[in-house]
């Protein structure tokens, strides 16, 4: 420094040329798109390392946030108290209605032998960090792979769904919020009349995510309930998410949960296993079910299909289709030619 | 006239002087190494601090890009210490800690560095409010590159509001950031620089 101004040093010749570094940065973007798990692993290891510090830092920061948030509420405490009392009285009435309806639904389910809802395993986790960045809205939980947390699991608080587990480290995990740019959740929009419309809830980094993939004919009313549809089997159906809010030509969703205020959340370990198909008997194969002769084992690959096509073009056989035996064993004609079991 | 010291004493004196000079040179080399590491270390520390998953004010405002302050400052003052590779490394840490699509912030940091480095004389001559405007230009370039890269990444335009918030916060934090970085430069980097 000279005369109070910064002295500009001469450029060193020993450095990577700028063009090469720019090219490397572009390659990194492309590589990151193809191999994003490398960055994800680095993020999770870093977050795991920072977890103790974050846990220590979380309490004072939350206290500060609460203090800041409460400054404006001091002046409306009386008014808000009256409104809350009124709302509480109405909610008590609704609770009574809900209890009666729940008992009635259970009775109907028993009468109709309805398939019971799958049990959902859940665990409680504490929020130890939050981040609100232009391309990522997330919160960090103190539960990871060691606790059974896996990517894709739903995260809810006492009001509704917050998001899904995005990355899971050994001791910590990142939650992708419903408002995040990358969030896509299949939902059902339930109107008061009971009609249900399937849609996709798409985050766009604003407070109200968009209801997407609706057909043009669908008309929703502000206030309609939005719940998870359960499509895809990752999320349990019926999780409360929010209510419909009109926004221009489209619809958005006012979320029930408040990720900025949640302290303890629940991770739902729901994974609906794909339903196993019943075993197929020989009679249920297309050719056998159509009453066509079985393919022989000596035919070349593709010959059974060709034979079936030829037979289909021929006049229909007069003989009835072979019936399954009473003991459930397929008839001999339905079995492929070859050595019988035990005769080898 | 003082008596001439004996030859043995002169030899010992020469050895002692040589040893002192060697020690001083070693010390200078260590100091230079430290000075060379300080800008990159400051950049990495700034990225680490600004990307801690802790939000004040209930997450109403996004965190500033504090890592851009050391990159801009030392790109002007000591480009031999803040090289394009250093900006690249700082950008990678921003990508890892900041989340989002990988490589976006690396590209934007290097792009901002490239513009500042090419117009270095113009940027270095700014002072006062002009210096803030100069940094705002660099931050605007970084944010614009990041925004466009993400738009290409997802193939649709994302809301502009959060990015504008990030830009505003970054520019607001430049003034205290530049003060801290300037102090570090005076105490560590500037003092250690003693090119003949």
| CB-based contact, A69 to chain B, within 8 Å | yes
Whether B79 sits inside 8 A of A11 (CB atoms) is yes
Q: Which range has the top average pLDDT, A208-212, B99-103, B112-116?
A: B112-116
The three-state (H, E, C) secondary structure of chain A, written as one string: CECCECCCCCCCCCCCCHHHHHHHHHHHHHHHHHCHHHHHHHHHHHHHHHHHHHHHHHHHHHHHHHHHHHHCCHHHHHHHHHHHHHHHHHHHHHHHHHHHHHHHHHHHHHHHCCCCCCCCEEEEEEEEEEEEECCEEEEEECCCHHHCCCCCCEEECCCCEEEEEEEECCCCEEEEECCCCCCEEEEEEECCCCCEEEEEEECCCCCCCEEECCCCCCCCCCCCEEEECCCCCCCCCCCEEEEEEEECCEEEEEECCCCCCCCEEEEEECCCCCCCCCCCCHHHCHHHHCCCCCCCCCCCCCHHHHHHHHHHHCCCCCCCCCCCCCCCCCCHHHCCCCCCCCCC
Task: Report CB contact under 8 Å: B53, A17.
Answer: no
Higher pLDDT pick, A89 / A231: A89
Q: Which residues of B touch A133 (CB under 8 A)?
A: 62-63, 98-100, 162, 166
State residue A244 phi and psi, 5-degree precision.
-70, 135
Q: Does ipTM exceed 0.90?
A: no
Region B117-140 average pLDDT: 87
Is the CB of A135 less than 8 angstroms away from the CB of B110?
no
Nearest chain B alpha carbon to A35: B102
* Residue with the larger pLDDT of the pair B112 and A231: B112
Percent above pLDDT 90 for chain A: 9
Q: Which residue in chain B has the smallest CA separation from A25?
A: B107
The neighbour count for residue A123, using CB atoms within 10 Å, is 15
Best of A134, A137, A202 to substitute, by most chain B Cβ atoms within 10 angstroms, is: A134
Chain A contacts in chain B segment 81-140 (CB below 8 A): 83-85, 87-88, 91-92, 95-104, 106-107, 110-111, 113-114, 117, 120, 124, 127
Q: Which of B99, B101, B114, B179 to mutate to test the interface with A (most CBs of A within 10 A)?
A: B99
A to B CB pairs, distance under 8 Å? 178
- Label residue A305 by pLDDT band (50, 70, 90): very low
Which of A36, A46, A135 is the closest to B97 by Cβ?
Answer: A46
Kindly list the residues from chain B whose CB atom is less than 8 angstroms away from the CB atom of residue A67: none
pLDDT tens across B15-27, in order?
A: 888 887 777 777 6
- Which positions 17-36 of A are in contact with B (Cβ < 8 Å)? 17-18, 21-22, 24-26, 28-33, 36
pLDDT in tens, A21-40: 889 999 988 888 887 788 88
Query: What's the pLDDT score for residue B136?
Result: 93
Shortest Cα–Cα distance, B21 to chain A (Å): 26
Give the model's confidence band at A16: pLDDT under 50 very low, under 70 low, under 90 confident, else very high.
low
Least confident window among A315-329, B108-122, B138-152: A315-329
Average pLDDT, stretch B120-146? 88
Determine, for residues A130 and B51 on separate chains, whether the beta-carbon distance falls below 8 Å.
no
Q: Do A32 and B95 count as a contact with CB atoms less than 8 A apart? A: yes
Q: Which of A22, A36, A64 sits opposite B114 (nearest CB)?
A: A22
Q: If contacts are CB pairs under 8 Å, which of residues 157-176 in chain B contact chain A? A: 158-159, 161-163, 165-166
- Over residues A87-115, the mean pLDDT reads 89
Contact at CB, B58 and A29, closer than 8 angstroms = no
pLDDT of B148 reads 93
d(CA B125, CA A45): 43
Q: Do the Cβ atoms of A204 and B120 come within 8 Å?
A: no
Predicted confidence at residue A249, as pLDDT, reads 76
The mean per-residue pLDDT over the stretch A259-272 comes to 81
A130/B contact by beta carbon, under 8 A? yes
Q: Which residue has the higher pLDDT, A114 or A154?
A: A154
User: Cβ of B84 and A15 within 8 Å?
Assistant: yes
- The minimal CB distance from B110 to the residues A6, A21, A65 is found for A21
Please identify among residues 45-84 of chain B the ones whose CB lies closer than 8 Å to any CB of chain A.
51-63, 76-80, 83-84
A139:B162 CB<8 A:
no
pTM for this prediction: 0.68
Between A19-28, A127-136, B70-79, the lowest mean confidence (pLDDT) is in A127-136
Interface probe for B, chosen from A32, A135, A172 (most Cβ of B below 10 Å), is A135
| Residue B4 C-alpha, separation from nearest chain A C-alpha, in angstroms | 44
pLDDT tens sequence across A216-232: 677 888 888 899 888 87
Between A71-75, B17-21, B175-179, B192-196, the lowest mean confidence (pLDDT) is in B192-196
pLDDT digits (tens, 9 = 90+) for A139-181: 889 888 888 888 888 899 888 899 999 888 888 899 999 988 8
CB contact under 8 A, A1 and B190: yes
């Amino acid at each position: 420094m000279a005369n109070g101004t910064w002295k500009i040093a001469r450029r060193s010749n020993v450095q990577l040329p700028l063009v090469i570094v720019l090219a490397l940065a572009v390659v990194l973007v492309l590589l990151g798109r193809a191999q994003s798990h490398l960055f994800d692993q680095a993020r999770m290891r870093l977050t795991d390392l920072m977890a103790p510090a974050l846990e220590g830092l979380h309490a004072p920061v939350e206290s500060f946030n609460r203090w800041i948030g409460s400054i404006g509420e001091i002046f409306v405490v009386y008014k808000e108290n009256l409104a809350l009392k009124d709302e509480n009285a109405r909610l008590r009435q609704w609770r009574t209605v809900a209890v009666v309806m729940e008992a009635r639904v259970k009775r109907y389910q028993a009468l109709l032998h309805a398939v019971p809802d799958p049990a959902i395993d859940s665990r409680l986790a504490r929020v130890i960090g939050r981040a609100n960045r232009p391309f990522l809205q997330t919160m960090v939980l103190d539960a990871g792979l060691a606790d059974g947390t896996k990517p894709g699991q739903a995260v809810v608080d006492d009001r509704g769904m917050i998001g899904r587990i995005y990355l899971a480290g050994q001791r910590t995990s990142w939650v992708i919020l419903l408002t995040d740019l990358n969030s896509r959740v299949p939902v059902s929009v339930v109107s008061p009349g009971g009609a249900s419309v399937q849609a996709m809830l798409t985050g766009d980094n604003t407070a109200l995510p968009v209801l997407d993939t609706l057909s043009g004919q669908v008309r929703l009313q502000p206030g309609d309930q939005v719940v998870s549809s359960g499509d895809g089997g990752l999320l349990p159906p019926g999780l409360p998410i929010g209510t419909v809010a009109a926004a221009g030509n489209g619809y958005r969703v006012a979320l029930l949960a408040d990720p900025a205020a949640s302290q303890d959340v629940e991770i739902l370990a729901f994974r609906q296993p794909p339903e196993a198909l019943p075993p197929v008997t020989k009679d249920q194969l297309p050719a056998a079910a159509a009453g066509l002769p079985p393919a022989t084992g000596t035919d070349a690959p593709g010959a059974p299909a060709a034979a079936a096509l030829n037979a289909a073009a021929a006049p229909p056989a007069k003989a009835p289709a072979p019936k399954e035996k009473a003991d459930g064993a397929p008839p001999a004609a339905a079995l492929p030619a070859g050595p019988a079991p035990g005769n080898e | 006239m003082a008596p001439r010291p004996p030859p043995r004493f002169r030899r010992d004196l020469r050895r002692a002087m040589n040893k002192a000079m060697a020690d001083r040179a070693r010390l200078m080399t260590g100091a230079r190494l430290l000075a060379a590491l300080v800008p990159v270390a400051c950049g990495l520390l700034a990225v680490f601090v600004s990307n801690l998953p802790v939000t004040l004010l209930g997450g109403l405002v996004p965190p500033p890009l504090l890592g851009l302050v050391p990159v801009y400052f030392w790109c002007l003052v000591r480009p031999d210490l803040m090289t394009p590779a250093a900006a690249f490394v700082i950008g990678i840490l921003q990508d890892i800690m900041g989340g989002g699509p990988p490589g976006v912030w690396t590209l934007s940091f290097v792009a901002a560095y490239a513009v500042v480095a090419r117009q270095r004389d113009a940027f270095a001559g700014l002072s006062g409010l002009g210096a803030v405007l100069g940094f705002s230009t660099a931050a605007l370039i970084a944010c614009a590159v990041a925004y466009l890269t993400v738009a290409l990444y997802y193939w649709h335009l994302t809301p502009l509001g959060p990015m504008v918030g990030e830009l505003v916060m970054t520019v607001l934090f430049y003034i205290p950031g530049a003060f801290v970085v300037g102090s570090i430069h005076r105490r560590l980097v500037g003092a250690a620089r003693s090119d003949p």
